[in-house]
Chains A and B, each alone.
Chain A
Amino acid sequence: MRKKLGALILAAVPALGIAYFPRSHAQDGQDAQAAAQSNVPHYLRHISSPSNEVDQIIEEAKVLDAYHGRFGTSTFINGNITLEHQIHGKNVTFVFHNYVQQGEQVRYGANGFTMLSQAEFAAVTSDIVTTLERAAQEAYNDHSNVSRRIIEIQEVHLKRNKRLGENEKLEDLLDQPIPDYPGLTIADGLNIPRLTVTDFVPTQLHFGPLPRSILGVTYLNSEVVGYHPLARQIDFVNGGPNVLKHELVHNCRKLQGIPYAFEFDAEFHASMVEQDNGLWFLRHPYLEDARSLAKVLFRFDAKRALENAIPMQLMLGSPIRRDLLEDYVVKIRQIRTEIRRTYLDDFLPEFYTHHAFWTAVNEDLNDGNGAFKIFMWSKYEPTLLQGAQNTSRWMQQNRQIIEDASRQALRNIENEQPAEGGIVMALRALPKEEREALISFASTLGIQAQDLGPALRVLERLADSGALNRLGRLR
């Protein structure tokens, strides 16, 4: 799992903008205070954590400007300073990439070498340990009611359908073995994720650079998480460990283990625990469905809002219309809270209660967020067509047409699935070396990794034309 910055980098706030939108005295005060503290880790020095959301957007862009181009790699895990530490009672190995002990000092190599004192390195370890502790706790808190709610909903359903006696409690039965299936319990059969905070804690946390715009990475089921120093800086700016929390949701194999992570939009789910600034909502690809739902259900047009707030993309930097953006971020916060609460508090319990049904629905709709979209439509009335009343009336008037289109769409999806995505599947099936070679070749043509999409679509059309039919079999 990777969390990427592609879209953000394309829309980085320009340096020139600073002249128009000077930093506040409060921020300057925070900076000065931070610099004065000897225990501030070296990568957080000179970075502020503004309370105003628009200031966060601007500061985040400055951090990106300062560090853009420093995405790199850790060639080997070996040779870095490692530290064992208990986080919420679980042993975690912290690997500090490119930090190497040299006598009394620690050598740090990100862009050339810097020497850190033991005290400076202690600030680094303290910061990362504390950040992980906080991120795991917050990620768990966001899911702490899920297990209980699932059991409650299931119990009501099973009693209503007479599968459970009136005086029986489902919770009392969950640990009972299933006959003929050694080692399995009733809870396993029902696929109930019984969560604890340690489920979100990885066994290895790698603090170090990641390649190609990736801020964080989690290898599914392995409990190994990577966290980029730049991500830590962005999290600092935005006032909370959002990137790390996102990865820790991927890390929780009861929620996103294999094969379940393939059955819904795992990135969307992980993004629900983030509480970053409003610009992420306006542009991040993982939140595309959230923007779409916000438009049709809440009448908030994210595309127009972005165009209004940042009217031009200039190579020398783009101007922000601060008055508009100040207004939008308030609305975005309301919307995100609504979507986030619905997802975590209501949808997830329903999804796991009828897991077999909803995963099949996602497949049927060819949409990892299909189940969540249905859920949102069960909770909110659409407002897009000049308010709820008018929209509801329009839906009634067009019901027959909509049902016809629904039938036709399902047939189309069913019929065209084999050809669709053949190239993508082919790419995925390529050996690693060949994929790297393709990316490298594309870069020689001036195509960056994140711009490969249009090229792939051209190849898809070739596939549709029959020239690359062979690839359809890979789906």
Chain B
Amino acid sequence: MKRFPQKATLPALAFAAFIGLAGCVKKTFDTEVKRILTEEYSMTEEQAMVGVGGALRYRFMTERDGKLEFNYHSLKLEDVLSKQRDMKQSLQDILNPNDAETRRFVDLFNQRAHFEREEQKVDYRIDRFSLVLTYDKFVRLMKSQRRGNDSVGITNPYPQGLTDLDIMFAGTNLARLLQFTAKYVDDAKAGNRLNQIENLVMSVQYEEEEPNPDYPQVDPNNATRWVQRSRALRIMSFDCDTQPDHRADYIEVYRIGADGTPEANPAIKVFKSQGSSTLDVAVLDRNPANQRGHGTPDDVESLSFIERGSELYDSRRDLLESLFKTPEVERRQLPKEAPIEAEIVRVGELGQQEFQISTDGWSCPLEYRVGNNYSLWVKFKDEESHDHANPRPREIEYVAKRYFVPGSSSDVQARVVEFYRVKPEFAQRVRLVTVNNETKMLEIVREGEAAQKGMDSLFLERDRNDLVTPFRIDYDSGNLRISLLDRDRNPEPLYEAKAEMSRPHTLNLRNDARTE
């Protein structure tokens, strides 16, 4: 077996022994020390072998009362955590549902639940080591200490004298042991002089594109999907001084839930480090109240030039946004394997497959109307032969409203276009149509009649509720362009048909009208 595969793929399991035995040269600490001692210090092979052992002793052991003891702080905590993350990666690789070979291996021997449990164990250890490492960073930042990179041959004490075993032992109360706080704040709280000098609430609602969990096994056509999200935060700044100077010494930031209630624990705490005049050490808890890890910091950052909470919004919005991790879409969904069939269809037997039909009707999930943020596009029906020298009167096929971002000429994000039919009394024998996109007025000149002018709604077909509704709505969704169609307009306005096509780069919309 190969000693250190980084990736637990099935080929590694099946092939590794062969390579290992083939005599592949691997540069280990052992071989490298030996090489240096023989080549650079002219030692004999035997001396170098003893030298290797000496190197191991000096690096990983300490001598006490004539006895050798292992030094569990001889490695950096980062290296111990990194190893746990390697193990997690191995498990993720083997549980990857999109790797067909490992999936077959795992399922053939019914190992999925076992590996998932192993992953949970590794997650536990990663959480524990990460917390200790985060605390270590917090303490150093609060003392304005920096650590060098070269740790070879030195001891790297872990906080509170913890060893790997102490950290893995669930009986060690890390939350109590590792207090992410500062004495001046604790004193102010105890002395009841935590004076709030700023209270800022901010909220935003928006749409976000995220990976589609059904892609590619269930839904091979949409790699992404759009979801509605909202975010709200409360930022509070406190003066902790005995003689209040109305300057912030401490900041707390809380996530606000959908019901408007702030979470119990701050998502960010910002402190002043030793001797600092500004708030320069931020402790972050990125897990919301309903998730494991809430109330336990998972990151510490160094800040610059922050004097009060509102400045976080002005200059460190990235930090605030990082509190709203997009929920991880479950990518480990096992593919739904279709039965293997043999299907033979001759050309001509396929029939029409253009629409998906729903008796309940389809609806457009987007909000895109902000007043009259559309432009008008009019299309005549195509004719088989059209004499440009002697044009005949035409029939209007539709009037389209193409929506744009208010104050700009850009389409709204999903490039929404609504299509309307024109009332029969205006649609036939048309010579000329003129549109005014400022006023949303249409002017229609019909054969042998005076021009008729009015708001677009005057000319457009109404449903049985006397509302002007489009018979078709087109919009982008992920990699697709969707068309919703109300084909019969009867008895209710209902988009019973849906068509999907690949999202085009540009919208080809024809305009046969003259624009004022």
Contact = CB atoms under 8 A, between A and B. Distances in A.
A291 to B, nearest CB: 11
B15 A367 contact: no
Contact of A258 (B33, B90, B168): B90
Contacts, number: 315
In the A-B complex, the 9 residue pairs with the closest CB atoms: A453-B22, A453-B23, A368-B3, A222-B109, A406-B55, A409-B32, A259-B90, A365-B29, A367-B28
A122 B101 CA distance: 38
Given A262-B5, A428-B15, A161 B161 contact: yes
A424 interface: yes
A420 interface: yes
B24 A456 contact: yes
Nearest to A449: B18
A295 B30 CA distance: 14
A241 to B, nearest CB: 20
A189 interface: yes
Contact of A385 (B46, B115, B122, B293): B46
A357 B14 CA distance: 28
Given A359-B83, A409-B29, A221 B21 contact: no
A337 to B, nearest CB: 21
B124 A181 contact: yes
Nearest to A185: B170
Interface stretch (A17-25, A111-119, A135-143, A395-403): A395-403
A267 B20 contact: yes
Contacts of B49: 292, 295-296, 384
A260 to B, nearest CB: 8
B54 A399 contact: yes
A407 B58 CA distance: 11
B15 A457 contact: no
A178 B170 contact: yes
Contacts of B54: 395, 398-399, 402
B109 A366 contact: no
B26 A263 contact: no
Contacts of B59: 406
Interface in A402-425: 402-403, 405-413, 416-417, 420-421, 424-425
A1 B17 contact: yes
24 contacts: A158-B165, A158-B166, A181-B123, A191-B121, A219-B109, A257-B114, A259-B122, A262-B5, A267-B1, A292-B30, A354-B165, A364-B79, A373-B56, A374-B56, A378-B57, A391-B50, A394-B47, A395-B54, A405-B55, A407-B152, A420-B26, A431-B11, A453-B21, A457-B25
Interface residues of A, number: 113
B84 interface: yes
A357 B75 CA distance: 8
A402 B171 contact: no
Nearest to B293: A180
Contacts of A4: 17-18, 21
Given A378-B70, A428-B9, A456-B24, A360 B152 contact: no
Given A354-B164, A428-B5, A456 B19 contact: yes
Contacts of A472: none
Nearest to B167: A356
B497 interface: no
Contact of A360 (B9, B80, B167): B80
A363 B29 contact: no
Chain B's interface size range is: 35 or more
Given A184-B120, A409-B33, A428 B2 contact: yes
Interface in A175-225: 176, 178-181, 183-184, 186, 188-191, 212, 219-224
Given A366-B29, A457-B25, A427 B4 contact: no
A330 to B, nearest CB: 24
A384 B46 contact: yes
A417 B109 CA distance: 34
Interface in B78-107: 79-80, 82-84, 86-87, 90-91, 94, 101, 105
Contacts of A363: 4, 79, 82-83, 86
A189 B125 contact: yes
Contacts of A407: 152-153
A427 B72 contact: no
B97 to A, nearest CB: 17
B163 interface: yes
A411 B9 CA distance: 29
A6 interface: yes
Interface in A325-359: 350, 353-357, 359
B201 interface: no
Contacts of B6: 425, 475
Contact of B23 (A374, A406, A428, A454): A454
Nearest to A186: B170
